[in-house]
Structure 1
Amino acid sequence: MSASSTRPSYAAVLRMPHATRTFTAALLGRLSYGMVSLAVLLAVSRATGSYAVAGTVMALFGAASVFLSPLRAALVDRHGPHRALLPMAALYAGLLGTLAAATWRPGAPAAVLGAVAVAAGACTPPLGPTMRAVWGELVTDRRLLQRAYSLDGVAEELLFVSGPLLVGVVVRFAPPAAGVAVSGLLVGIGTLAFVTSPAVRSVAVQASRVRARTQMRKRMRMRMRIGGGLVQPVVVAAGVGLSLGAVDLLVLAFAEQRGHGDDAVAWIFAALSAGSAVGGLLYGTVEWRAGARTRLPALTAGVGLTLAVAGLAPGLVTLTVAVVCAGFFVAPALTTAYLVADETAAPGARVQAGAWVNTAVNAGISMGAAAGGLLVGRLPVGAGFALAGGAALLAAAAVGVGTRYPRVALPQEQEQEREREQEAGAVEQAR
């Protein structure tokens, strides 16, 4: 089925050969990431009796997972999903199983739990970036690719809403450590189903052929192009992450100052996710005339402005409306960042390009949470929202300038280069 012959809709994306099977398998594995944070936090706190230890273990796990993501993605680009993802998933699932066993009963040494958590985080399979790279190979029509990325982003948003709910179901019938074990099981099954999909196998074959012909003579040039092309999407992802990370604590402080409980805070967080999901779906259906690089600063500015205005809300209902409006821009901004990263990625480096954007948003969220902790109690909540929105506005201004960034190859130039590489490969085979 040709992408150009299909109606540009979400149904058309899922009708692409093997798309539904591949996407479902990736989502099954990625559901683990929606569960694991809460599951590890509960398991470690119950096993050690200390929230401080639980927070430290989670910080170590998150740091190893986030900051080593580009390295793991580079291994997928170099060796293909089958050869790279399966060992990572096996190690990750095994280490989560070890952590579950260690926290099943009280008395586990904190140092052991921290060491296992770091090792597990270091092995986290980059299923999200790899799936987006598969979308890039599977969907050749740029209009459909926008819808594919929007669908992927919305589904990921929903996973991080449903993951904690699934942990809540598990802990009703078993110790919290069982949630950690389930997380490992999900990523193992999901990764195995993902890499055995015909769509992923064909991408792996193409990647190995490109690597065999070009790895030695183009390695340095490829790295330079990746670095230049990723400046804009990485800056946007980090700015949006900073804003979102700070907003969590600001919402909590806003609710507490007005006498509302944790249930109200949970509804506001859910509203942000719902707004992001709706915004992502609507964004994917629009036929945009402006290019992705033009849309990127505008969408990021939308996140910043709406969050800054949210600090002026007189009550919880108004704040919820403002947060929903901010959510409308979150998924579209990140979807566009991934699109720009994919457009500028060198051949055989799509997973790594997406991983840099993913790393930037996660690192931004962590830094934003730390900054939010410093802001709350020292500044009025309204000023905190203004600063949180300012982070996204600053990122929008930075990518809006854009003229000083290193020149990157246009998609047409990259396509011409791929054609030249295919011709060179055919000559080599003829010899």
Structure 2
Amino acid sequence: MSSSSAALSYAAVLRTRHSCRAFGAALLGRLSYGMVSLSLVLAVEGATGSYTAAGGVMAVFGLTSVFLSPARAWSVDRYGPRRALPPMAALYGVLLAGLAAATARPGVPVLTLAVVAGAAGASTPPLGPVMRTLWRTLIPGRLLLQRAYSLDAVAEECLFVIGPLLVGVVMMVAVAPVSLAVCAVLVAIGSLALARSPAVRIQEAQNKATAASPGPVENTPSGPAAGPPRAGPRMRQAVAVSAGVGMGLGALDLLVIAFADQHRAPQAVPWVLAALSGGSAVGGLVYGAVP
């Protein structure tokens, strides 16, 4: 390997000061996201005996998580990760623990589960976006930053390999609600560790310095007072395509579970979901390695 290649390698990303601590904390918290979908579907199905109910509750969880993500991102931008992440993580963890307790025995109304799941989705800490903004603070140079983003994406896919397998391990010794409780613990620990990492302090110090320094006067509005950017035709097309892909991928988990159950092979579900994410991780590594 040439010296220039070594300087732009994935290892170089991890050697950057403070990156391992922040990245490790973010990955620990995001491991919860690799487990929560399967855990929630299995827990709700076990409590209600209905995949329709499980799919509905999971849909509510996903919809509130997606549609309220701009509000959570605004909160992080406005108050900073150190002040915004801990309350979100605490609320998210408590609500997941509530779902675990509610699904521990049958007979809970589906509407109750949907409301609690919706509230949990609405409070999901944006650990991925926060980490991706931290990479810009930690990593010097555009090419090495590309490696960092690729590493981040691949590591996240690996979490979606590990997550279902961990759910499978939990299901061997316990029940699905226990895996929901594990999700709550993981996101709480990871979020608090990320919020207290030196990388976050450096980023906030840089933001304060930028805000305090006088800059050129712009003719167009910017910052918090500015309105949202207008979406042109290309942006709307990209959003529509992403929404279609997202709906297909979102339905896939439930379909895999139902299909495996129909064929009396529930033990295959973690392996199928892990294989899907593993293929995505390989694709991410290839993408990141090619300029």
Compute the TM-score of the two structures, normalised by the length of structure 1.
Answer: 0.57
How far is the alpha carbon of 1:192 from its aligned partner?
Answer: 0.9
- Indicate the residue corresponding to 1:284 in structure 2: 288
The answer (yes or no) to whether the contact 1:136–1:145 under 8 Å persists in 2 is yes
Structure 1 residues 243 and 66: alpha-carbon distance in aligned structure 2, compared to 1, 3 A threshold: closer
Unaligned runs of 5+ in 2: none
- For 1:285 and 1:189, the matched residues in 2 are separated by 32
Where do residues 207-226 of structure 1 align in structure 2 (5 Å cutoff)? 207-210=207-210, 220-222=221-223
Secondary structure in structure 1 of the residue aligned to 2:106? coil
1:244 shift after superposition: 6.4
Judged with a 3 Å threshold, the aligned counterparts in structure 2 of structure 1 residues 269 and 245 are, in CA distance, closer, same or farther, namely farther
Assess, with a 3 A threshold, how the Cα gap between structure 1 residues 269 and 122 changes in structure 2: closer, same or farther.
closer
| Structure 1 residues 226 and 22, CA gap change in structure 2 (3 angstroms) | farther
SS at match of 1:221: coil
Equivalent in the alignment of 2:107: 107
Equivalent residue in structure 1 for 2:241, among 230, 239, 242: 239
The aligned counterpart of 1:385 is: none
Q: Which residue of 2 aligns with 1:194?
A: 194
Of structures 1 and 2, the one with the larger relative CO (CA 8 A, separation 6+) is 2
CA change 1:230–1:265 in 2 (3 A) is: farther
Give the conservation status (yes or no) of the 8 Å contact 1:80–1:207: no
Provide the identity percentage: 55
Q: 1:231 to 1:277 in 2, by over 3 A?
A: farther
Tell me the amino acid that sits aligned with residue 206 of structure 2: Q
| Aligned-pair CA distance for 1:239 | 2.4
Equivalent residues in 2 for 1:8-407 (5 A)? 8-210=8-210, 220-222=221-223, 227=229, 235-236=237-238, 239-240=241-242, 242-243=244-245, 245-246=247-248, 272-286=276-290, 288=291
Q: CA deviation at 1:208?
A: 4.2
Size of the alignment, in residue pairs? 275
Q: Distance in 1 between matches of 2:130 and 2:108?
A: 35
CA distance in 1 between partners of 2:221 and 2:173 (Å): 54
In the alignment, is the contact (CA less than 8 A) between 2:165 and 2:274 conserved in 1? Answer: no
CA 1:76–1:208 in structure 2 vs 1: closer, same or farther (change >3 Å)?
farther
Shift of 1:110: 1.9
Report Cα offsets for 1:252-284 as digits up to 9, x if no partner: 89xx9xxx9979998776555334322322332
Structure 1 pair 271–117 and aligned structure 2 pair: CA distance change class (3 A): closer
- Going from structure 1 to structure 2, the CA distance change for 1:275 and 1:174 (only over 3 Å counts) comes to closer
Corresponding residue for 1:386?
none
Aligned equivalents of 2:146, 2:13: Cα separation in 1: 10
Code of the residue aligned with 1:101 in structure 2: it is A
C-alpha change, 1:52 and 1:271, in structure 2 (3 Å) is: closer
> Hey, what's the Cα distance between the residues in 1 that align with 2:236 and 2:204?
26
Distance change (3 Å), C-alpha of 1:235 and 1:9: farther
The separation in 1 between residues aligned to 2:169 and 2:235, in whole angstroms, is: 37
CA RMSD of aligned residues (A): 3.3
For residue 227 of structure 1, give the secondary structure of its aligned residue in structure 2: coil
Write the deviation string for residues 369-413 of structure 1: whole angstroms up to 9, x where unpaired: xxxxxxxxxxxxxxxxxxxxxxxxxxxxxxxxxxxxxxxxxxxxx
Displacement of 1:136 in angstroms is 1.0
8 A Cα contact 1:151 1:281, kept in partner: yes
CA distance in 2, matches of 1:271, 1:95: 29
Indicate conservation of the 8 Å contact 2:165/2:270, yes or no: no
SS in 2 for 1:77: helix
In structure 1, runs of 5+ residues without a counterpart are 289-431
1:147 and 1:225 map into 2 onto residues whose CA distance is 33
Q: Residues 209 and 109 (structure 1 numbering): CA distance in 2 closer, same or farther, change over 3 Å?
A: farther
